[in-house]
Amino acid sequence: MSVLAMKFGGTSVGSTKAIQQLSAIVAQQQTEWSNIVVVVSAMSGVTDVLINSAHAAAAGDGAKAKEAADTLRRRHTTTLHELAGAAADSASVEASLTTLFEEFELLAQSVRVLGEASPRALDAIASIGERMSVQLVSAALRAHGVQSVALNAAEMVVTSAEFGNGVPKYPQTRDTIRKRIMPLFADGVVPVVTGFIGATEKGAVTTLGRGGSDYSGAIFGEALDASMVDIYTDVDGVMTTDPRLVPTAQVLDRLSYAEMSELAYFGAKVLHPKTIRPCIERGIPIRIRNTFNPAHKGTLVTSVAEATAHAIRAVTVIRNMNLMTVEGRGMIGVQGVAARTFGAVAQAGANVLMISQASSEQSICFVIPNSSSTTAIAALEDSLRHEIERGDIDRIKSRDNVVIVTVVGVGIHERPGVAARVFGALAQAGVNILVIAQGSSECSISMVVAASDGDIAVKALHDLALS
Ligand code: ASP
Ligand code: MG
């Protein structure tokens, strides 16, 4: 029994044409695979609309939710009519959609009355996007002659109660997925499952984090012992860097899991970083492919690394970062400063992307998004007040407008001279490096540079990747 898990992103389900394209791809893959599970995102932009209108409702603006409901209704019903208007089951699909529009309006209304959008309410509202799109995609497949049902992953993916960032629980998740899907496979049915969402043991809907449908694709692939997880998006594959920045950027044929994780973590938007984990565990290859150019074979991600002349495979950049430094000669040997520093930053809800500490222990520096810097500084000043008053900590410095540039390649740490070439290339381009860190998977080097140097740095380093 061969199983293929196919995940289609927001643009791949974003219009009638895209969904028709998807249907043709699924039908084509059915000639090669005995069982297919399809996992989909919400139509492009829908999750943003849902979340924004929830926030607006919390702030007392109910009109925005009403407007959003109308827009969503129009977009989804029009698409349904175009895809499957003639089909016998079209009316029942439309009825399911109507229930979802009503559910959205009801939830938004509750949020407005309460004056608060709790993480739990936000997840319930955000989940509606995928619950609508599975209806469309499944109907389209049926209209295309593919037997299919729409399923809600909240009935299968069991997560922790961390709303907005649910962590799947095993082995329950695997067991429930198998119990639900294997009988469908036996009947030759292609299940179309909501990406992005799960539910707690008690049944409260959770989400796996923004962009989490990729992760869902891998979760279903793993649970069903798939031989392959295809991630369909709107680009040909993973590129050596952002082609808008460097026109000579190329699609990579192959990457190792470690390289892909590092790229995803350091800003390559093509894949959610958590996607790799379930696939590594069972050695399931991941293919990144283009819905709109299915003839392109995309990027294949496996445990095998490609040998290259210069070890550097790709370059990424993460913008709008802030470099924070906690500094003080009195920090030497004082226990718990690092713990409290990061505790405070976590409490401020800031995501730490990179950490570096010099061995003299006189400073700790780390990188967080610009948008979190004000709250992070306040939290740090509060938590380290004692040390600041005593003079053990001299200052908390914050530098806005920095970027993280990362080079990725499995050979980077094994081969002497790679770091020298990286730093040499930046020196030659006149870029000053503020901080350096080596990635935990030992296949990357990240550097913090001023935002104004970001593009120059990427270009200089990309030349190394191609050479
Ligand atoms: N629809 C969700 C989002 O926009 C999940 C996804 O598309 O992967 O974040
Ligand atoms: Mg995505």
pLDDT in tens, 60-71: 998 999 999 999
Tell the residue number behind the tokens 């120059």, with chain if given.
Answer: 456
Among residues 5, 12, 17, 8, the alpha carbon closest in space to that of 190 is found at: 5
The number of folded domains in the chain is: 2
Pocket test for ligand 1, best of 213, 220, 233 (most atoms within 8 A of CB): 213
Q: Decide if 287 is inside a domain.
A: no
Distance separating alpha carbons of residues 435 and 367, to the nearest angstrom: 10
How many beta carbons lie within 10 A of that of residue 322, not counting itself? 21
278 is a domain residue:
no
The verdict on the CB of residue 166 being under 6 Å from ligand 1 is no
| Residue at 91 is within a domain | yes
Domain of residue 380, CATH code: 3.30.2130.10
Could you please report the per-residue DSSP string of 411-450? TTTTSTTHHHHHHHHHHHTTPPEEEEEE-TTSSEEEEEEE
377 falls within a domain: yes
Place of tokens 């370059």: 315
pLDDT digits (tens, 9 = 90+) for 18-72: 999 999 999 999 999 999 999 999 999 999 999 999 999 999 998 999 999 999 9
* CATH number reported for the structural domain that contains residue 68 in this entry: 3.40.1160.10
Dump pLDDT digits (tens) for 96-140: 999 999 999 999 999 999 999 999 999 999 999 999 999 999 999
Shared domain check, 43 and 185: yes
322 C-alpha vs ligand 2 centroid, how far in Å? 25
Q: What's the gap in Å between 146 CA and the centre of ligand 1?
A: 25
122 domain-assigned: yes
Judge whether 249 lies within some domain: no
Average pLDDT over residues 348-373: 87
| 227 in the same domain as 333 | no
Instruction: Decide which of 234, 256, 290 is a domain's last residue.
Output: 234
Residues 393-414 as b or e (16 or more Cβ within 10 Å = b): bbebebbeebbbbbbbbbbbbe
Q: Per-residue confidence at 338, pLDDT binned at 50, 70, 90?
A: confident
Q: pTM for this one? A: 0.93
Q: What is the pLDDT at residue 465?
A: 81
Partners of residue 271 on adjacent β-strands: none
Cβ atoms within 10 A of the Cβ of 378, count? Answer: 12
329 with 203, same domain: the answer is no
pLDDT, position 38: 98
- Give me ligand 1 centre to Cα 212, in Å: 6
Strand partners, 450: 402
Q: What is the pLDDT of residues 419-466, one digit of tens each?
A: 889 999 999 999 999 999 876 667 999 999 999 999 999 999 999 887
Are residue 320 and residue 433 in the same domain, yes or no?
yes
Q: How far away, in angstroms, is 293 Cα from ligand 1 center?
A: 22
Domain membership flag for residue 119: yes
> Residue 80's domain spans which residues?
3-234
Helix, strand, coil tally for the chain in percent (to 5): 45, 20, 35
Length of the chain: 467
CA of 356 to the centre of ligand 1 (A): 32
Ligand 1 close to Cβ of residue 45 (< 6 A)? no
Does 331 lie in the same domain as 225? no
Mutation test residue for ligand 1: of 7, 8, 39, 47, the one with most atoms within 8 Å of CB:
47
CA–centroid distance, residue 328 to ligand 2 (Å): 42
Q: Among the three residues 234, 255, 274, which one is the final residue of a domain in this structure?
A: 234
| Average pLDDT estimate for 270-295 | 96
Confidence of residue 269 (pLDDT cuts 50, 70, 90): confident
Both structure tokens of 428 = 């030659």
Residue 360's pLDDT is 66
Check pocket membership of 11 for ligand 1, CB cut-off 6 A. Answer: no
Atom number of ligand 1 nearest to Cα 215: 8
For residue 139, what are its two tokens?
């109907």
359 pLDDT above the threshold of 70: no
The DSSP line for 240-298 is: SS-TTT-TT--B-SEEEHHHHHHHHHTT-TTS-GGGHHHHHHHT--EEEEETT-TTS--
Residue 54 sits in the same domain as residue 174: yes
Residue 226 lies in a domain: yes
